[in-house]
């Protein structure tokens, strides 16, 4: 029983470590009614599954909001382009309203790149190299020695099948 209590305490500590913002009630609900370690673990995994559902829902919501943001950005650009065009075509340089002033002005000069290969190297920003871990793993699996790397020992992972 002492060993199970120790494991229960350790699981509680790990949950608090993984989710420091968890309130006492949610933590107790997660662990409530668990009379043995198996029940505690099952409750924790059920809570993790609930978290996964929330993660997926939030990802979908964020995707939808990003699409909505892009639509608003396009609409803003089109409206400003239409206003600029209308002012140019009608010869209006300035419009004064009670809450804003609209005027046409020259844009600051930009750069048109004609041939990138001819631009001197001091204008180029070097990009940091990025390790291709998949290629390293494939080489190691294929028997090629890679200095500074080795195949890691596999660790156990949690598999959950929901019925």
Is the pLDDT at 1 greater than 50, yes or no?
Answer: no
pLDDT grade, residue 153 (50/70/90)? confident
Tell me the percentage of the chain whose pLDDT exceeds 90.
Answer: 61
pLDDT given for residue 57 in this prediction? 98
Greater confidence, 13 or 148?
148
pLDDT at residue 7, rounded to an integer: 67
CB 94 within 8 A of CB 102: yes
Nearest-angstrom CA–CA distance, 25 and 31:
10
Strand-strand pairing, 94-96 and 101-103? antiparallel
Nearest in space to 44 (alpha carbons), one of 4, 8, 20: 8
Rg of the chain in Å (alpha carbons): 30
What number is the average pLDDT over the span 47-66?
A: 96
Instruction: Give yes or no for a contact between 151 and 137, defined as CB atoms under 8 angstroms apart.
Output: yes
| C-beta separation of 93 from 103 below 8 A | yes
At residue 88, the 3 state secondary structure works out as helix
More confident: 82 or 9: 82
| Token representation of residue 133 | 């871990």
Q: CB neighbours of 45 closer than 8 A, spacing ≥ 6?
A: 158, 160
The residue that leads in pLDDT, 138 or 18, is 138
Question: For residue 1, what are the contacts with CB-CB under 8 A and spacing of at least 6?
Answer: none
| 76-99 pLDDT tens trace | 999 999 999 999 999 999 999 999
Can you give the pTM of this predicted structure?
A: 0.57
Average pLDDT for 138-147:
95
Round to whole Å and give the CA distance between 119 and 153.
48
């Amino acid at each position: 029983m002492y060993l199970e209590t120790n494991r229960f305490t350790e699981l509680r500590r790990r949950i608090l470590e993984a989710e420091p913002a968890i309130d006492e009630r949610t933590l107790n609900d997660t662990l409530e009614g668990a009379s043995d370690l198996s029940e505690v673990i099952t409750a924790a995994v059920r809570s993790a599954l609930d978290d996964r559902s929330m993660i997926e829902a939030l990802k979908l919501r964020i995707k939808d909001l990003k699409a909505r943001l892009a639509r608003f950005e396009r609409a803003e650009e089109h409206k400003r382009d239409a206003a600029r065009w209308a002012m140019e075509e009608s010869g209006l340089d300035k419009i004064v309203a009670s809450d804003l002033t609209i005027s046409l002005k020259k844009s600051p000069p930009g750069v048109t790149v004609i041939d990138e290969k001819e631009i001197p190297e001091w204008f180029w920003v070097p990009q940091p190299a990025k390790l291709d871990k998949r290629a390293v793993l494939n080489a190691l699996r294929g028997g090629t020695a890679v200095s500074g790397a080795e195949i890691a020992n596999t660790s156990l992972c949690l598999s959950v099948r929901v019925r």
